[in-house]
Structure 1
Amino acid sequence: MATILPSPPKVGMVSLGCPKNLVDSERILTKLRADGYAMSADYAGADVVLVNTCGFLDSAKEESLEAIGEAIAENGRVIVTGCMGKEAEVIRTRFPGVLAVTGAHQYEEVVGAVHEAAPMPPSAFLDLVPATELKLTPRHYSYLKISEGCNHRCSFCIIPALRGDLVSRRPDAILREAEKLVAAGTRELLVISQDTSAYGLDLRHASYPLKGGGEVRAHMTDLSRELGKLGAWVRLHYVYPYPHVDHVIPLMAEGLVLPYLDIPFQHAAPAVLKRMKRPANDAKVLERLRNWRSIAPDITIRSTFVVGFPGETEADFQYLLDWLDEAQLDRVGAFRFEPVEGAAANDLDGAVSEEVKEERYARIMEKTAAISAAKLEAKIGRVLDVIIDEADEDGGATGRSKADAPEIDGQVFLRDAPGLKPGDFVRVEIEDADEHDLYGVPVA
């Protein structure tokens, strides 16, 4: 007689915020899958819904609260985790019906809350461990988190209060995870943390044994070199421009690491950087950019900047625009300063009006769009390596060059590209460009 297995409880997930949060969501769901839970793609089919929140900015907090409210309205059984878990009282005051509230990367606590809210039926057959970790990104690229927390105390940021000080993972553990991801089909590894350049500092850059023999040091340069041997694209995010970053550039010239750095400069005017409590040697940064480009001419530098920071004068802002003219960064995002509860910047004088913030935001975006358009126009006629993200049955496809990270940078739109599938690498002749994207055709 056939054994009828009880249906396992289903878990829904709403994941908000940065890629680091996405990795947390993947780990939580992987553990729940290993415990036998099934996943639900909608509210209606879920026995409990997890909302992984973002709490970096007030606007992000409001988005998180709206997501919690929607989950409660649609399902009613909600567990909250993530960065806003630090504000459990705020969440419970607004939504007294939430089942549990846990903080960022508290995996065991949130999994325990799920077990309590939706217990597994007793069955020896439901405890099935998946062969690989559950992924929330497409199969061909994966975020690889190398550390948690941050030792910086930037005046506008509350990340250390939310996620604590720097805690680095062992490099051998990171490499084992990367190897499994590549074996499972990952073609691009996106290295993330709060401060990638500081990786291994808390481990005193100690060396750890590798599975096949030898050792690897807990240091960004050494880890990048080992990751580059796995055969996938390796893209570095959230890199503070410490002096040792210079040693990563030759790895880019060798082809071990993508010629791409995501560096959060935040501003260029020394007075503003000082109030932000960030390094303020902008002239040395320009010199280093020139040196990097001499070693790896195709290097792409992306960054983000804050406009309207307390005390930012028109002269400070013009200084930033002039600096951008010299720096010629490839990809730039900008944010209007937004007070965040608990941030030291809230106590600074010289508040900038919302009207001025909007005007400066428009000017910096106009400036950086023009720089981007000129840089992309210069690529017309070149043949670039492209990784495919999407393909249709009519011969159209969308991908990214080495200069483009998923979801935040531009894309490459292909014509006459039949038979491609996500994860394929293809050589593409660039035929046209606009402010953000490239257009081309595959070449043999």
Structure 2
Amino acid sequence: MATDLRVLRQDDWDEWYDTLLRAFGGVPEPAEERALFRELTQTDRSLGAWDDDTCVGTAGAFRFRLTVPGGAAVPAAGVTMVSVAATHRRRGVLTSMMRRQLDDVRSWGEPLAVLTASEPAIYGRFGYGVGTFHVNAEIDTSRVRLSVPPGTDDVRLRYASPADVLGACEAVYARLVPRRAGMLARLPGWERLWLLDPESERDGASPLQCVLAERDGETVGYARFRIKPGWEPAGPRGTVVLQDLEALDAAAHAALWRFLFDIDLTSRVSTRGRPVGEGWQHLVSDIRRCSLLVRDSLYVRPVDVGAALEARAYQAPVDVVLDVEDVFCPWNTGRWRLTGDTKGASCARTEDAADLALSVRELGSAYLGGVTLDALAAAGRVRELRPGALAEASLAFASTAAPWLPHGF
């Protein structure tokens, strides 16, 4: 059965979005959340698959700038809202949308496509490799203590309305974006995502709260969270449900985490999507009682191998020829000579003998520095063709701080 694949029209958005929601279980979203995503959807970068007059497939691609090793903000297509109606499985709908979307991304001149996967098994065949991880934690604050650095007591904390201080929080976030690979520069409108607070999605917790960290009148950090009360025969067992926390320095970071640990009538901090190796993980007295769970996060796909590899810096000098296989985007297939260091890089096609062989999926995994080429080689996913090339390239591709995606899309 043939389907018609076309760019989304504004008048078709409601049916398109309802198709997406049904594919994810059919639970209606709160009105304010639906309204915001209607505003954020870039219809000229979104696709719908139609069977006669019925929408049976959806896919979008936000226009983002992604921080890469070295601090550059690189254009990247944020693949999102991908779904196929259960009535149209195994008919090539998803493949046709992925094909058209990657062709579009290339035509837009964006060297990277990135996504978060509801089902990781789906996207490897289209060249996406997991490039970042995050940490979930359930911290027993009745048993875990923090050892804070000097200067923590110099940070002033104060409660504020999340809406009233949104600008100050976004200014802190914007200063942090160039510091860590994987972070997204937020486009206008995205800041409102953090103020969505429907009662139906609080799971018994309080409305959203916010605390600012200040020093000499300057905002140097913030935490947004909810409190979920709980009681046992022995006393209070409330939970601090952390939504997000950002800080410009170690003292502000420690002050905010200490505050969360010390909130009255609580004995646990629950948090999702934090960076691997974040500072608080090295301040706690007992890491085992923090119940860390590492999960996959951002999937990365080079759409233009040469431009993508040139866009980032490398933490050690590198001169290596990569033999890249890319079945889905064959324009990337072939040998590429990459030369670079901390100041920048060049990458061009070459006829020289290859030093390493890998697919574009492995290149995507290694791109932000969160997955090493050495680890991929140990799994048989990267082949060393010149002795010593693997160690050289693996060191160069690595990132000093674990890359991190701060929020989904």
Tell me whether the two structures share a fold, i.e. TM-score over 0.5.
no
Tell me which of the two structures has the higher relative contact order, counting C-alpha pairs closer than 8 angstroms and 6 or more residues apart: 2
| TM-score, normalised via structure 2 length | 0.31
Higher percent of residues as helix:
1
| TM-score, normalised via structure 1 length | 0.30
